[in-house]
Amino acid sequence: MSNENAYCTRLREILCPEGHWELSPIMENLLRDEINRLPRKQITEDERRSPTTNEGLKEFFTQFFVRHFFQIQDCIFPLLLDEETDIRSTGILHITDVGCGPTVVSLAISDLVNTLQNSPALIDKIVSLEYTLNDISSASVSEGIKLLNGFRRRLLTTKRQGCVPQMGEPEALIQTFPDSADNLALRRTQNHNHGKEMLVLSYLIGPLVQKEGKRRTAKGILKVLATSHHKPTMVVLIEDQFHENELRSLSRELGLRVEERSLTQKTYWAENHNETYSYTYYVASTASATAGMAGFTYTEDVTTQLQAERVTSPDSACQISGVSRHSEMGTFA
Ligand SMILES: C[S@@+](CC[C@H](N)C(=O)[O-])C[C@H]1O[C@@H](n2cnc3c(N)ncnc32)[C@H](O)[C@@H]1O
């Protein structure tokens, strides 16, 4: 077994003992406290899936949060240890979390990195995490920032023998994607560190493609990537079977391949909370762009498309389709 595979196997054993994904004690306590704190009220299905109120957030945490959280960890952890995208080489990871809701992706990755750091055999340096959050629901983003801060506080107070990741102050952008792509791109150009970058859209592609169309959605994603094409970015798109078709058509547009995956997890917060349940989900990531290659190799696909775009705006190497990289900062908090 290669070193990389051995790392992945070891990390999987920690995250998913006996084949069942489980929350770390810190994350479980944080979520339980939040669910207990939030008020309960009858709400619509839309509000449950994309919460804009405290009542909606309570339902989202109870029904969807943990499922999405495990799927994010399941598909992202091999990327963090992959030879080319390995965060161990730089110790810095910038996460752009689009359609972040209550920061599910950012929390899942922070928890992953903490698990890595508490296994000195897996990583021996402190990782700095930076977050750019984008959503249309300010209630969700505020709640997410609160959870990220709560997670950071609990990490510091329960610090065990290992060390904990350095979690930066999240920057929030309340704006509709793909309109927000210029501001997200700007944020990336201002980020001058030499760390790794990751752009994640989890459980957003379906509604986005239905509303905006696959071309406009793909252009938004490419626009975010284009500003720092010198700094390759891991891209991860996640959906369930209800939006598999939209994910597949968008991924074809971007040159990514979709993988079907399933995982078995402990169920939380439900009456049958001691049972396990298996969920299938779909992921398109840069790691699946070319067989046997991971991470940065996707840029060949994306770059091809970006170059095609640049032909339409030859006056600036930094423009695609007339979008200036010097756009206004917008509503970054
Ligand atoms: C189902 S939730 C997913 C939250 C989180 N990413 C996850 O994996 O659990 C979808 C989120 O996308 C947000 N959203 C919907 N349309 C959006 C858009 N056009 N731009 C940015 N965010 C959007 C919603 O407000 C909601 O918070």
8 Å CB contact between 135 and 180: no
Q: Please report which confidence band the pLDDT of residue 289 belongs to, taking 50, 70 and 90 as the band edges.
A: low
Report which protein residue has its CA nearest ligand 1's atom 2: 50
Q: What's the mean pLDDT in 131-136?
A: 97
Quote the pTM value: 0.85
Give the chain's length: 333
- Mutational test site, ligand 1, from 136, 147, 175, 184, max ligand atoms within 8 Å of CB: 136
Residue 97, amino acid? D
Q: In the prediction, which pLDDT does 329 show?
A: 29
Percentage of residues in the chain with pLDDT exceeding 70?
78
Query: CB within 6 Å of ligand 1 — which residues?
Result: 49-50, 68, 99-101, 104-105, 134-137, 140, 176-177, 202-204, 207-208
Instruction: Say how many Å lie between the CA of residue 254 and the centre of ligand 1.
Output: 20
- Atom number of ligand 1 nearest to Cα 140: 27
Report which protein residue has its CA nearest ligand 1's atom 8: 202
Closest of 209, 287, 211, 203 to residue 245, by C-alpha? 209
Instruction: Say how many Å lie between the CA of residue 296 and the centre of ligand 1.
Output: 26
Q: What's the mean pLDDT in 280-289?
A: 84
**β strands within the chain, DSSP E:** 92-98, 128-135, 166-167, 171-174, 196-202, 233-239, 258-266, 276-285
User: What are 144-166's pLDDT values in tens digits?
Assistant: 999 999 999 999 887 665 588 99
Closest of 75, 197, 65 to residue 130, by C-alpha? 197
Q: In the prediction, which pLDDT does 9 show?
A: 85
Angle at alpha carbon of residue 36, lines to 31 and 39, rounded to 5°? 120
> Domain 76-261+279-309 belongs to what topology?
Rossmann fold (3.40.50)
What does DSSP say about strands 92-98 and 128-135: parallel, antiparallel, or unpaired?
parallel
Cα distances (angstroms) measured from residue 266 to each of 15, 28, 146, 270, 272: 12, 12, 25, 10, 10
Domain assignments of the chain as residue spans, ordered by start: 76-261+279-309
Q: What's the mean pLDDT in 15-42?
A: 92
